[in-house]
C-alpha cells in the first residue's frame, strides 16, 4: 500500500471547538447543574488548538520522545483495531497519542508503520519514568493492551476518570464512572463537541478496517488527537488547581492498583470492578476513605446542597424547569434512568408498563382509562 513516508502532517481542528460554559461545581458539593464564577483560562483553551504531528519514521520518533522526556505530565490514549462487541480487550494497537506540557503539539505514534520493536525501544524511556506523570482516562483496557501486546507497563499513571469518581465518592458515596463529556462539563464547564460521525460510525460497526488502514485520513487523525487534548485540559482543572476534597497521592495509589491488576502481560480474565461502569468500592474505601453523605439528612447519593428534605421539595430542574428534582436525576435529560424493569424499554417505569399491565377492557398495550373500545361502548349506551 502506498503511503506518504517521512512527511510531517500538521493539522488544526476543522470542526467547531468546544466553548466554555459554567465553571466547576464539584469542590463545594453544589449540584452539577449549578454554575460557578470559575472560567476556563486562555492557556487551557489553547490546548484544544494544539496541532498534531504523525510520528512514523525513526527520526521523528527520536525527536518526539526527546520532547516528551522534558515533560512533567503526558496525556495518553490508544486507538486499536476494531473488535466485536463481545470482546473485552482492545484489538491490535494502531496509534498511541501523546500530548504534554512540554510542547504544544499532539504526537500520534504510528505503531504499525514504526513496527512494535522500534516503537517499544524508544517510548519505554518515558512510559517507565516515574518522574513523568502519565494521564489517562479509564486506563484499564489501554494498560492491558500495552502490557499484553507490547510488554510495556507505564509507571506514574493518574487515571482522571478514577479521580472524578473519587470526588463523587467523597461527596456522595457514588462509585459510578462518568464519561469524558460529562466530566469536562462538570469540572471545566466545557461542552465537548461530538467527534467525527464517520469515524464513530465505522468504529461502532466493529470487526472492520478502521485504524488498520494506511495512510489514515486526516479526519481520523484529528479524531485520535482530540481525546488527549481533552485529557490534558482536564488535568489542568483536576490536578493543578487542587480544589477538590480528594488527595492527589491517594488517587495515584488507587490508579496504581488498577495498573497492577491490568498490566500483567496477558489479557485479564477477572475484572477489577463489579461492572464496567463502576469503580471498585473496596479499593475506594482503602485508598480514598469512607464515602460522603448529606450533612443535612445523612443519606448517601447527594450533598446537602442537593437535599430535597432541606429544600422542602422546592428543588427545580435546570434542564426541564420542573420542580422536585435536579438535572442530575431528570428523566428528560437522562432517559436511561427511566427504564422499565419488566419490559426493558425506556420512557416509563414498571408501574406504568402497558405490556405487563395491559388494558383491562381489551387487553391492548395502553392505559385502561384511554381505551377506545370502552369509550365507543359508552357512547352506544
How high is the pLDDT of residue 339?
67
pLDDT tens digits for range 53-102? 999 999 999 999 999 999 999 999 999 998 877 788 999 999 999 999 99
| Distance (Å, whole) CA 43 – CA 124 | 29
Reported residue count of the chain is 381
The domain spans of the chain are 40-286
Q: What is the SS3 string spanning 353-368?
A: CCCCCCCCCCCCCCCH
User: Would you say domain 40-286 falls under CATH 3.10.105.10?
Assistant: no
For residue 41, the tally of other CB atoms under 10 A from its CB is 15
pLDDT band at 3 (very low <50, low <70, confident <90, very high): very low
Mean pLDDT along residues 323-344: 73
Can you tell me whether residue 171 is helix, strand or coil?
Answer: helix
Residue 157 C-alpha cell reads as: 499513571
Q: What are phi and psi of 100, to 5 degrees?
A: -125, 175
Whole-number Cα distances in Å, 134 to 77, 97, 163, 221:
10, 12, 13, 21
| Distance (Å, whole) CA 221 – CA 326 | 38
How high is the pLDDT of residue 124?
97
Q: Which of 119, 28, 13, 129 is nearest to 71 (CA)?
A: 129
pLDDT tens digits for range 17-50? 444 444 445 644 443 333 333 467 787 889 999 9
For residue 211, the tally of other CB atoms under 10 A from its CB is 23
Average pLDDT, the chain: 84
DSSP 280: -
How high is the pLDDT of residue 189?
87
Amino acid at each position: 500500500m502506498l503511503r506518504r513516508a517521512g512527511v510531517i502532517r500538521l493539522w488544526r481542528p476543522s470542526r467547531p471547538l468546544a466553548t466554555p460554559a459554567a465553571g466547576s461545581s464539584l469542590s463545594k458539593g453544589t449540584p452539577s447543574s449549578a454554575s460557578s464564577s470559575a472560567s476556563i483560562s486562555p492557556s487551557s483553551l489553547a490546548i484544544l488548538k494544539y496541532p498534531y504531528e504523525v510520528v512514523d519514521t525513526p527520526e521523528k520518533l527520536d525527536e518526539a520522545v526527546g520532547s516528551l522526556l522534558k515533560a512533567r505530565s503526558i496525556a495518553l490514549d490508544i486507538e486499536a483495531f476494531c473488535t466485536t462487541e463481545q470482546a473485552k480487550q482492545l484489538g491490535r494497537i494502531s496509534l498511541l497519542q501523546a500530548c504534554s506540557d512540554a510542547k504544544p503539539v499532539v504526537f500520534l505514534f504510528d505503531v504499525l508503520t514504526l513496527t512494535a520493536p522500534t516503537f517499544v525501544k524508544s517510548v519505554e524511556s518515558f512510559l517507565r519514568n516515574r518522574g513523568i506523570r502519565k494521564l489517562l482516562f479509564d486506563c484499564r483496557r489501554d494498560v492491558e493492551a500495552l502490557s499484553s501486546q507490547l510488554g510495556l507497563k507505564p509507571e506514574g499513571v493518574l487515571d482522571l476518570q478514577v479521580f472524578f469518581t473519587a470526588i463523587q465518592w467523597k461527596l456522595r458515596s457514588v462509585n459510578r464512572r462518568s464519561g469524558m463529556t460529562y466530566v469536562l462539563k462538570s469540572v471545566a464547564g466545557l461542552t465537548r463537541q461530538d467527534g467525527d460521525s464517520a469515524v464513530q460510525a465505522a468504529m461502532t460497526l466493529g470487526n472492520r478496517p478502521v485504524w488498520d488502514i494506511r495512510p489514515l485520513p486526516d479526519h481520523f487523525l484529528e479524531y485520535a488527537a482530540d481525546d488527549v487534548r481533552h485529557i490534558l485540559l482536564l488535568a489542568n482543572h483536576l490536578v493543578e488547581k487542587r480544589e477538590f476534597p480528594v488527595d492527589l497521592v491517594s488517587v495515584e495509589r488507587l490508579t496504581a492498583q488498577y495498573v497492577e491488576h491490568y498490566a500483567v502481560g496477558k489479557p485479564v480474565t477477572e475484572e477489577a470492578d463489579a461492572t464496567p461502569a463502576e469503580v471498585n468500592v473496596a479499593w475506594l474505601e482503602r485508598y480514598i476513605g469512607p464515602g460522603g453523605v448529606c450533612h443535612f439528612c445523612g443519606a448517601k447519593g447527594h450533598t446537602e446542597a442537593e437535599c430535597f428534605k432541606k429544600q422542602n421539595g422546592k428543588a427545580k430542574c435546570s434542564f426541564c424547569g420542573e420542580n422536585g428534582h435536579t438535572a442530575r436525576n431528570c428523566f428528560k435529560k437522562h432517559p436511561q434512568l427511566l427504564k422499565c424493569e419488566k419490559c426493558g424499554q425506556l420512557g416509563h417505569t414498571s408501574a406504568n408498563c402497558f405490556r405487563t399491565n395491559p388494558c383491562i377492557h381489551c387487553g391492548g398495550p395502553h392505559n385502561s382509562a384511554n381505551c377506545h373500545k370502552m369509550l365507543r361502548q359508552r357512547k352506544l349506551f
